[in-house]
């Protein structure tokens, strides 16, 4: 039987998750980075190509030790969360080998490090309103920025989903549309009357026929390319817009487009929405991802208890 080597199987696995699993190119690139690092660390003392049958618990221990000691150019070590990403990729690779009946380390032996639940930053409704109040609605740019912030907060969109929207994608009469999110999964987006109205206001002052819903107003306006992606706003541009109005409103929190997505989720939960519904609206494939918001709603429940539960005398 022809020998098989880990380096070739890694490439097979990456093609498998891209084509058969439908993972995004960003995910594939990240997995490639993680698995190539694993290969480099585990092969550094070998005088031959690493074979899958050589991956054992000692090799795993060595890899985890090296990961824990890795430093970037600023001498910062990898966080437990980043180390977990490496190990998730490795475990997925080993599961792939097991399904192909290629002898290697049992994937169940790859334990993930304990990680702290991420701190979620979110804005209260009055803080979002403070940002909106800072926008000059007498300009096309102001109308655009208002529509962007209201769509992010009203629909819970990821910034990449917002940037990819075209005019024809969004139904402003029904106030709902579909986006393609992570893993090429479609999900419905619902927006309120105010967000729909603001998008209408913005489109009403546009004098172009470009398909992108949101345009950069300073980029290549004289270009004749009809596709229009040269003027489509980028995620970084959206970040700058959010930063601008956050500072103008005097908000000291670190606010990003994703903060508005967090704010969307916490606003739903604080007003009584159940976790499963919020999971669906956010497009989370796993309920555990949505559970990062539970500590926020726990705080809210404490406020409810204090307000409505009578003290004993």
Token output for 167: 């005019």
CB-CB neighbours of 187 under 10 Å: 16
Q: Is residue 194 part of a domain?
A: yes
Percent of the chain with pLDDT over 70: 89
For residues 61 and 176, membership in a common domain is answered with no
For residues 67 and 168, membership in a common domain is answered with no
Q: Is residue 117 part of a domain?
A: no
Specify whether the CB–CB gap between 157 and 179 falls below 8 A.
yes
Q: Is residue 82 part of a domain?
A: yes
Of the listed 146, 231, 232, 261, which one is catalytic? 261
- Average pLDDT for 1-18: 89
Of the listed 51, 62, 95, 182, which one is catalytic? 182
Of the listed 144, 158, 198, 231, which one is catalytic? 158
Does position 313 have pLDDT exceeding 50, yes or no?
A: no
Query: Facing residues of 178 across strands?
Result: 188
Q: What is the pLDDT of residues 153-170, one digit of tens each?
A: 999 999 999 999 999 999
For residues 142 and 71, membership in a common domain is answered with no
- The number of folded domains in the chain is 2
Percent of the chain with pLDDT over 90: 61
Rounded to the nearest 5 percent, the helix, strand and coil shares of the chain are: 60, 5, 35
C-alpha span between 286 and 267 (Å, rounded) = 20
Identify whether 158 is a catalytic site residue: yes
Q: Which range is least confidently modeled, 101-105, 111-115, 135-139?
A: 111-115
For residues 142 and 240, membership in a common domain is answered with yes
pLDDT at 269 (0 to 100): 87
Q: Which range is least confidently modeled, 73-87, 123-137, 146-160, 284-298?
A: 284-298
What burial class does residue 100 get, using C-beta atoms within 10 Å of its C-beta: 0-12 exposed, 13-18 middle, 19+ buried?
middle
Identify whether 182 is a catalytic site residue: yes
Q: Is residue 1 part of a domain?
A: no
Q: What is the pLDDT of residues 85-98, one digit of tens each?
A: 999 999 999 999 99
pLDDT at 137 (0 to 100): 95
For residues 77 and 149, membership in a common domain is answered with no
Average pLDDT, the chain: 88
Token output for 101: 């009946």
Of the listed 37, 95, 258, 300, which one is catalytic? 258
For residues 104 and 132, membership in a common domain is answered with no
Identify whether 261 is a catalytic site residue: yes
For residues 63 and 199, membership in a common domain is answered with no
Q: Is residue 236 part of a domain?
A: yes
pLDDT at 12 (0 to 100): 95
pTM as predicted: 0.64
Does position 186 have pLDDT exceeding 90, yes or no?
A: no
More confident residue, 270 or 67: 67
Q: Is residue 160 part of a domain?
A: yes
Residue whose tokens read 């190539």: 36
- Average pLDDT for 248-268: 93
Of the listed 34, 86, 96, 293, which one is catalytic? 293
pLDDT at 310 (0 to 100): 59
Domain boundary among 80, 109, 138: 109
For residues 82 and 169, membership in a common domain is answered with no
DSSP 8-class letter at 292? G
Does position 116 have pLDDT exceeding 70, yes or no?
A: no
Q: What is the pLDDT of residues 188-247, one digit of tens each?
A: 999 999 999 999 999 999 999 999 999 998 755 555 455 557 889 999 999 999 999 999
Q: What is the pLDDT of residues 28-63, one digit of tens each?
A: 999 999 999 999 999 988 889 999 999 999 999 999
Identify whether 258 is a catalytic site residue: yes
For residues 77 and 175, membership in a common domain is answered with no
Residue 244: which CATH number?
A: 1.10.443.10
- pLDDT band per the 50, 70, 90 thresholds, residue 17: very high
pLDDT at 299 (0 to 100): 65
Could you tell me whether strands 170-171 and 186-190 are parallel, antiparallel, or unpaired per DSSP bridges?
unpaired
For residues 19 and 64, membership in a common domain is answered with yes
- Average pLDDT for 248-254: 93
Residue 28: which CATH number?
A: 1.10.150.130
Sheet of 170-171: strand order equals 170-171, 176-180, 186-190
Does position 305 have pLDDT exceeding 90, yes or no?
A: no
Structural domain for 20, as ranges = 6-109
For residues 38 and 140, membership in a common domain is answered with no
């Amino acid at each position: 039987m022809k020998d098989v080597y880990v380096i070739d199987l890694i490439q097979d696995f990456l093609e498998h998750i891209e084509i058969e699993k439908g993972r995004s190119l960003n995910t594939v690139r990240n997995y490639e980075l993680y698995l190539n690092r694993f290969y480099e660390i585990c092969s550094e003392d070998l005088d031959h190509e690493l074979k899958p049958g050589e991956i054992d618990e000692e090799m795993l221990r060595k890899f985890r030790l090296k990961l824990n000691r890795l430093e970037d150019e600023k001498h910062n070590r990898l966080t437990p969360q980043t180390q977990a990403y490496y190990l998730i990729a490795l475990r997925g690779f080993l599961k792939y080998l097991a399904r192909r009946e290629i002898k290697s380390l049992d994937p169940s032996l790859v334990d993930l490090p304990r990680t702290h639940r991420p701190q979620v930053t979110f804005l209260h409704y009055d803080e979002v309103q403070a940002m909106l109040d800072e926008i000059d609605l007498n300009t096309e740019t102001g109308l655009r920025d208002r529509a962007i912030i209201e769509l992010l907060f009203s629909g819970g969109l990821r910034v990449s989903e917002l940037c990819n929207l075209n005019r024809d994608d969004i139904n402003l009469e029904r106030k709902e549309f579909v986006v393609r999110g992570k893993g090429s999964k479609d999900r419905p987006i619902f927006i309120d009357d105010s967000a729909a109205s603001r998008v209408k206001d913005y489109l009403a002052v546009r004098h172009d026929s470009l398909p992108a819903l949101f345009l950069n107003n300073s980029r290549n306006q004289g270009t004749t390319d009809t596709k229009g992606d040269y003027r489509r706003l980028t995620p970084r541009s959206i970040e700058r817009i959010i930063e601008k109005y956050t500072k103008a409103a005097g908000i000291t929190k670190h606010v990003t487009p994703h903060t508005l997505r967090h704010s969307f989720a916490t606003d739903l939960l604080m007003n009584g929405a159940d976790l499963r519904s919020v999971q669906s609206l956010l497009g989370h494939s796993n309920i555990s991802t949505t559970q990062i918001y539970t500590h926020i709603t726990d705080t809210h429940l404490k406020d409810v208890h204090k307000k409505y539960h009578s003290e004993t005398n």
